[in-house]
Amino acid sequence: QKEVEQDPGPLSVPEGAIVSLNCTYSNSAFQYFMWYRQYSRKGPELLMYTYSSGNKEDGRFTAQVDKSSKYISLFIRDSQPSDSATYLCAMTPTGANSKLTFGKGITLSVRP
Partner 1 sequence: DAGITQSPRHKVTETGTPVTLRCHQTENHRYMYWYRQDPGHGLRLIHYSYGVKDTDKGEVSDGYSVSRSKTEDFLLTLESATSSQTSVYFCAISVAGGEYNEQFFGPGTRLTVL
With contact defined as beta carbons under 8 Å apart, do 32 and 50 qualify? yes
31 binds partner 1 (CB under 8 A): yes
What does the alpha-carbon distance between residue 10 and residue 75 come to, in Å, rounded to a whole number? Answer: 16
Q: Which of 19, 76, 92, 110 binds partner 1 (CB under 8 A)?
A: 92
Compute CA distances 65 → 20, 42, 98, whole Å.
13, 27, 20
100 binds partner 1 (CB under 8 A): yes
Nearer to partner 1, 17 or 98 (CB): 98
Site residues, partner 1 (CB under 8 A): 6, 31-32, 36, 41-46, 49, 51, 88, 92, 94-100, 102-105
